[in-house]
């Protein structure tokens, strides 16, 4: 009998993420992109500190665990030594846009030929739901105060994709979401495009992925897609913010 669907061998066993979390879904999208393009044997991930590090036991490609926020600098070192390999960071918003903004920005400015994947769930998940620089206005966190994020105190959500798109050396910048099947397909295309531009044209590429964190959104997992649609997308618009000319 012909198999019509099989488990991706790059994903081993079960994972420890919360129900409805965006990480395992995004892990699978990346694993599928690697497998379908025969890139798995060339992949090296610079992994952040945060919920993302729960992927380490169950994804089966090379991983380097980085100090918090420094994945773009670590990936720079990796890529300079392994120039033909597919190097990408996998970071949360707190890691890439908060503590690691300097490393992110300057890797983009130098045009380092690797891909940064920033998983934006508007929260510090691993430590239990503290405010991030991407937390929505009015969103309640364990550090926002009872009325939620107030611009008078903590300003507005950081929109990193738009910032990186202004950098001359950035080759491809996109923001995608994974809250519906349609968005999952778009996200997969964007990641594949980012990887391909890295491998074939030596471009620095950046993909911000809006991910659901029902635990810290304080919604049921099945309500998280609607939350994303109603509250997150108006603040973080989707799309390709920078592409190589004509593509």
Strands (E), 93-236: 115-120, 170-177, 204-210
Residue among 25 and 74 whose Cβ is closer to other proteins: 74
Closest CA to 12 of 26, 33, 34, 27: 27
Q: Is 5 exposed, middle or buried (0-12, 13-18, 19+ CB in 10 A)?
A: exposed
Provide the token pair at 8: 């991706």
Q: Is 4 exposed, middle or buried (0-12, 13-18, 19+ CB in 10 A)?
A: exposed
Q: Is residue 96 within the footprint of other proteins (CB under 8 A)?
A: no
Q: How near is the Cβ of 79 to other proteins at its closest, in Å?
A: 8
Q: Is residue 82 within the footprint of other proteins (CB under 8 A)?
A: yes
Selected range binding other proteins among 41-49, 171-179, 180-188, 209-217, rule: CB under 8 A: 41-49
CA dihedral 107, 110, 112, 116 (to 10 degrees): 30
Q: Is residue 32 within the footprint of other proteins (CB under 8 A)?
A: no
Binding mask 100-129 for other proteins (x = CB under 8 A): --xx-xx---x-------------------
Q: Is residue 67 within the footprint of other proteins (CB under 8 A)?
A: yes
Q: Is residue 44 within the footprint of other proteins (CB under 8 A)?
A: yes
Out of 46, 173, 232, 238, point to the residue binding other proteins (CB under 8 A).
46
CA dihedral 35, 36, 37, 42 (to 10 degrees): 0
Footprint on this chain of other proteins (rule: CB under 8 A):
9-10, 34, 40-44, 46-47, 53-54, 56-57, 60-67, 70, 73-82, 85-86, 102-103, 105-106, 110
């Amino acid at each position: 009998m012909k198999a019509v669907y099989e488990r991706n061998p790059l994903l081993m066993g079960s994972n420890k993420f919360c129900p409805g979390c965006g990480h395992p879904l995004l892990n699978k999208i990346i694993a599928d992109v690697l497998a379908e393009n025969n890139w798995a044997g060339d992949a090296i991930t610079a992994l952040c500190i945060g919920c993302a590090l729960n992927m380490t036991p169950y994804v089966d490609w090379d991983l380097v665990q980085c100090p918090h926020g420094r994945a773009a600098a670590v990936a720079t070192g990796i890529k300079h030594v392994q120039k033909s390999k597919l190097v990408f960071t996998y970071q949360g918003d707190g890691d890439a846009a908060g503590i690691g903004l300097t490393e992110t920005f300057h890797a983009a400015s130098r045009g380092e030929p690797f891909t940064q994947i920033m998983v934006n769930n508007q929260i510090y998940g691993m430590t239990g739901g503290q405010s991030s620089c991407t937390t929505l206005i009015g969103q309640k966190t364990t550090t926002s105060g009872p009325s939620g994020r107030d611009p008078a105190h903590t300003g507005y959500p950081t929109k990193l994709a738009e910032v990186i798109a202004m950098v001359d050396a950035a080759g491809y910048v996109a923001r995608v979401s994974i809250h519906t099947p349609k968005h999952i397909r778009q996200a997969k295309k964007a990641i594949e495009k980012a990887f391909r531009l890295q491998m074939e044209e030596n471009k620095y590429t950046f993909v911000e992925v809006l991910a659901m964190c029902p635990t810290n959104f304080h919604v049921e997992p099945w309500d998280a897609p609607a939350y994303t649609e109603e509250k997150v997308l108006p603040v973080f618009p989707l799309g390709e913010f920078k592409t190589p000319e004509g593509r």
